[in-house]
Amino acid sequence: MTFKGGVHPADSKKLSSHCAIKPVPVPKQLSIMLSQHIGAICTPLVNKKDAVTAGQLIANADAFVSAPLHSPVNGIVKDIALCSHPVLGRAQAIIIESSAENQPKQPYPARFDSTFDIAPFSAEQIFNAVRNAGIVGMGGAGFPTSVKIKANPQAPIKDIIINACECEPYITCDYRMMIEWTYQILAGAALIGKTLNCGNIYIGIECNKPDAIEIFEKAIKAAPFAVGMKIAPLHTKYPQGGERQLIKAVLNKNVPTGGVPPMIGVLVSNVATAAAIAEAVAMNSPLTHRAVTVSGHGIKNPGNFYAPIGMAVGELIELAGGLKDNAVKVILGGPMMGFAVADLSTPLTKTSGAVTVFTENDIVKRKETACIRCGRCIAGCPININPTKIAHAVKNNMLDIAQQYYLSACIECGCCTYICPADIELTGYIKTGKILVARQKKLMPK
Amino acid sequence: MAQILTVSPSPHINKHHSTQSIMLDVVIGLVPAAIASFVFFRMKAVVVLASCIISCMVFEVICNCIRKKQNTLGDLSAVVTGIILAFSLPPTIPFWACIIGSGFAIVIGKMVFGGLGANIFNPAMAGRCFLTACFGGMMVSWTVPATLDNNMPKVGASSVAPAAITQATPLGLIKEALKNKSAPQDEKIAAIRGIFKNMLIGSTAGCLGETSTIALLIGGIYLIIRKTIDWIIPVAVLGSAFICAFIACELDPHHYVAPWLHLASGGLLICAFFIATDPVTAPLTKKGMWIFGAGVGALTMLIRLVGEYPEGIMFAVLLMNSVSPLIDRFTKLTPAGGKPNV
Ligand code: SF4
Ligand code: SF4
């Protein structure tokens, strides 16, 4: 089973799939963005010149849909100032200067194994641990996880899917986690199941990772806490890891347009998030580090790193051997949905799973030509809308027509632009259209 | 950092194809039929093909100059139009008529609508339609192929002798054979078999590129394998034509030609694989493609069977082209998650 549409870009994962996740030396300076995720922006709880310790709460928000921030290192708050944000342009960040005696945080600290026991943790405890650890969806969406795992008696969750697809080309950190931190991910999945009192847990893995499938199968057999979890092997196709596409492929259900998975009783969580949950619950440790892939043909030594949130992209690039001479584009995230950054001081956020560096050869950007109405964008659209009609309407400022063609349903996956032979930035036009519609509805200031 | 980094919206990679590479694929798909036309019509084929292609390109350049638009010769669509126009003309047509047809195809068929992508009608068919309207007689005079007439000037010959033996198209021949009431049944079948064999290799009278069934099939299958064209339109065209021909043949086998003979006629194949599949003038959605293809197939057969007009393709395609925006409107897509409730 699979979803309709989608594209097959070369996965290019060989560059870094063999590289184990390595801890990085503590950076001298970290910039922790106050806006890391969907939901309320945090307010700093520290002042300039305050001393902070690793794991200390440094910012929080009272809103339900939010997640607190913690310092990844011991150090001193240097400033609270504007700094480059991958999506928002410039935004407030807490800048921490780390002290000399810091030791790099080792990945996989708890050494989870098949004997892990979820019995001691009550649903309440798990929820609080996740909330206090500041965990957000680490696969890219960045929705605060505590909100998702709060049991709602009106709409009980019937199926949980662990998203282990990693369908974006080049990125391999999820894959490395799957083979290195297998039990930690399974423990996280079991803990989510426990808070929601739901035993139907699926692990969706793309078939281009046969070894990960095998390792998970073995681990599920070996670990009593994982009994009953099911592996769902999925087609290798982008965007298999999109929430809607994943649910369609695993459960053959459609999430209503404009709705969210809980409306049909499904929760999707990415492997990195599951691993973070396990760590937060078992060790009470907040989310301050994450696995990041640094890859692409423009980087000298691609690899996977366990880096603190707030580390500058440029520093990670240096750790991976630096840029090659022909590098022209640095993308925070993968090539299909990531954001190109111009400023290498841009810090990592909780949702940055990769830094992809491209050379001139990778980004053959040609000039936009006339649409030849070939229909490829429609065939490739995973949510079955008409990208060319919408883009055309946006271009001509006919927002009502764009909306009639379901502009709002677009998940911005990029398949249409990827496949268009006329090189029309369909996704770009659609994103612009969404902003214009929001402005028209006065949801967004001019 | 020495490098200047570029920034652009996602996605950051493209599939490595372009309008140009798609058109190039279509040209490659047309090569087998072109070779067949050189074999069977020799120098005449060269003259018609060359004059159509070159004049289409020249008109494209002129139009771009007048419209002060960037040169679009590179997308190769003019070449494709030229080849398809040439393939739908009889080999005896003089070169000046080719130029007139090409001019109409590019200028009126494409450029006045705003160029590639904006035209409503298939330019090659528009050009052919114009020629049919102006020089009706010239458009239905079929020379016999070189395999039957050794006086046909060879490729490279300096003069193109106008004198040529004419013959009816294979479908016409078959119809005649059927109508011949006096001939015994097995003789009729043998005659039809012979004509069918000639149709397969292309040794029959007919338009330049339409005679060889095998050559067209090779090209068409190449395009489908390369995913340059969607398989839906060819299947819909051939399927609906087959059904129509089958019904007619069941009703009156003495009057109507067997359905597989209709399918083997090159005109229908070139239409199914190369003309109806022109993306610009066909609908966008898969459902729309089915409707469009079925319409082309059915209309072609209607014109062939009822109208007794041998070449139904051109009108069928042009008619369906005109409703293609309508089909698009009626086959509007619903998002996978259903209509949003706003
Ligand atoms: S970006 Fe939007 S319109 Fe384009 S393929 Fe993805 S969902 Fe469809
Ligand atoms: S893929 Fe590009 S050229 Fe083809 S219909 Fe869509 S927008 Fe037009």
Which residue from A243, A381, A417, A420 has its CB within 8 A of the most atoms of ligand 1, so it is best to mutate? Answer: A381
Task: Give the residue from A305, A284, A286, A285 showing the smallest Cα distance to A294.
Answer: A305
Order of strands, edge to edge, in the sheet holding A354-359? Answer: A21-23, A303-308, A289-295, A354-359, A327-332, A339-341
CA of A415 to the centre of ligand 2 (A): 11
CA of B230 to the centre of ligand 2 (A): 14
Question: Residue A269 pLDDT > 70, yes or no?
Answer: yes
Nearest CA to ligand 1 atom 5: A381
The average pLDDT across A84-95 equals 83
Pick A370's closest partner by Cβ from B4, B13, B117.
B117
Nearest CA in chain B to A411: B335
pLDDT at B44: 86
B43 alpha carbon – ligand 2 mean position (Å): 39
Specify the amino acid at residue A324.
K
- Cross-chain Cβ contact B5/A340 below 8 Å: yes
Q: What is the pLDDT of residue B185?
A: 75
Pocket of ligand 1 (CB under 6 A): A 380-383, 385, 387, 410-416, 426-427, 430
Contact map slice: B 251-290 vs A, CB within 8 A: 279-286, 289
For a substitution probing ligand 2, which of A373, A410, A417, A427 has the most ligand atoms within 8 Å of its CB?
A373
pLDDT-above-70 percentage for chain A: 98
* Chain A neighbors of B75, CB-CB under 8 A: 369
Contact B279 A363 (CB under 8 A): no
Question: A351 vs A13, A36, A320, B285, B322, CA distance in Å?
Answer: 20, 7, 20, 36, 50
Q: Do A327 and B14 touch (CB under 8 A)?
A: no
Amino acid B162: pLDDT = 47
The whole-number average pLDDT for the span A52-61 is 90
Cβ contact B13–A365 (<8 Å): no
pLDDT tier for residue A163 given thresholds of 50, 70 and 90: very high
Longest dimension (CA), chain B: 92
State if residue A373 touches ligand 2 by the CB under 6 angstroms criterion.
yes
pLDDT tier at A214 (50, 70, 90 boundaries)?
very high
- Minimal CA separation from B36 to chain A, in Å: 29
Q: Is A421 within 8 Å of B22 when comparing Cβ atoms?
A: yes
pLDDT digits (tens, 9 = 90+) for A104-155: 888 776 678 888 888 889 988 999 999 999 999 888 778 889 888 888 888 8
- Distance from Cα B35 to the centre of ligand 2, integer Å: 32
Of A329, A382, A418, the CB nearest to B6: A329
Rounded average pLDDT over A262-275:
93
| Closest approach of A321 to chain B, Cα-based (Å) | 14
Closest-CA residue of A relative to B335 is A384
CA closest to A169 among chain B residues? B13
**Which amino acid is located at B153 in the chain?**
P
Other CB atoms within a 10 A radius of the CB of residue A37 amount to: 25
CB distance from B329 to chain A under 8 Å? no
Report which protein residue has its CA nearest ligand 2's atom 6.
Answer: A377
Determine the residue of chain A that is closest to B279 in CA distance.
A374
The minimal CB distance from A383 to the residues B16, B18, B336 is found for B336
Lowest mean pLDDT among A48-62, A106-120, A412-426: A106-120
Question: Are A329 and B10 inside 8 Å of each other by CB?
Answer: no
* Measured distance CA(B115)–CA(B63) in Å, rounded: 9
What pLDDT digit, counting tens, does each position of A335-392 carry?
Answer: 999 988 888 889 999 988 899 999 888 876 678 889 999 999 999 999 999 999 999 9
Three-state SS string over chain A comes to CCCCCCECCCCCHHHCCCCCEEECCCCCEEEEECCCCCCCCCEECCCCCCEECCCCEEEECCCCCCCCEECCCCEEEEEEEEEEECCCEEEEEEEEEECCCCCCCCCCCCCCCCCCCCCCCCHHHHHHHHHHHCCECCCCCCCEHHHHCCCCCCCCCCEEEEEECCCCCCCCHHHHHHHHCHHHHHHHHHHHHHHHCCCCEEEEEECCCHHHHHHHHHHHHHCHHHCCCEEEEECCCECCCCHHHHHHHHHCCCCCCCCCHHHHCEEEEEHHHHHHHHHHHHHCCCCCEEEEEEECCCECCCEEEEEECCCEHHHHHHHCCCECCCEEEEEECCCCCCEEECCCCCECCCCCCEEEEEECCCCCCCCCCCCCCCCHHHHHCCCCCCHHHHHHHHHCCCHHHHHHCCHHHCCCCCHHHHHCCCCCCHHHHHHHHHHHHHHHCCCCCC
The answer to whether the CB of A379 is under 6 A from ligand 2 is: no
Q: List chain B residues with CB under 8 Å of A427.
A: 9-11
Distance from the CA of A107 to the center of ligand 2, in angstroms? 45
Distance A137 CA to ligand 1 centre (A): 21
Helix axes A271-283, A123-133, angle to 10 degrees: 110
| Residue nearest (by alpha carbon) to ligand 2 atom 1 | A420
Q: Distances in Å between the alpha carbon of A121 and those of A127, A158, A278, B7, B224?
A: 10, 21, 11, 46, 58
- Residue in chain A closest to B324 (alpha carbons) equals A373
Q: Supply the pTM of this predicted model.
A: 0.89
Residue A434 has what pLDDT? 92
Pocket test for ligand 2, best of A7, A368, A371 (most atoms within 8 A of CB): A371
Largest CA distance in chain A: 63
What whole-number distance in Å separates Cα of residue A37 and Cα of residue A275?
18
Which residue's CA is the closest to the ligand 1 atom numbered 6?
A413
List average pLDDT for each run of 10 residues in chain B, which is 342 residues long.
72 87 95 91 89 95 90 90 94 91 94 90 94 84 67 57 61 73 74 81 82 91 93 95 91 82 84 94 94 95 78 89 93 86 62
Whether residues A331 and B12 touch (CB distance < 8 A) is answered with yes
Look at B11 and A373 and tell me if their CB atoms are within 8 Å. no
Structure ipTM? 0.87
Find the residue in A nearest to B22 (Cα): A421
Q: Give all strands of the β-sheet with A230-234 in edge-to-edge order.
A: A230-234, A201-206, A159-164, A266-270
Identify the nearest ligand to the CA of A7 by its number: 1
**For position B256, what pLDDT does the model report?**
81
Return the ligand 1 atom nearest residue A377 CA.
5
Q: Residue A228: is its pLDDT beyond 60? A: yes
Residue B76 near chain A (CB below 8 Å): no
CB contact under 8 A, A378 and B284: yes
First-last CA distance in chain B: 49
Among A389, A413, A417, A424, which residue has the most ligand 1 atoms within 8 Å of its CB, making it the best to mutate?
A413
pLDDT at B198 (0 to 100): 81
Q: Are A292 and A307 in contact (CB under 8 A)?
A: yes
Q: How far is the CA of A427 from the centre of ligand 1 (A)?
A: 6
Q: Give the Cα separation of A220 and A240 in Å (integer).
A: 23
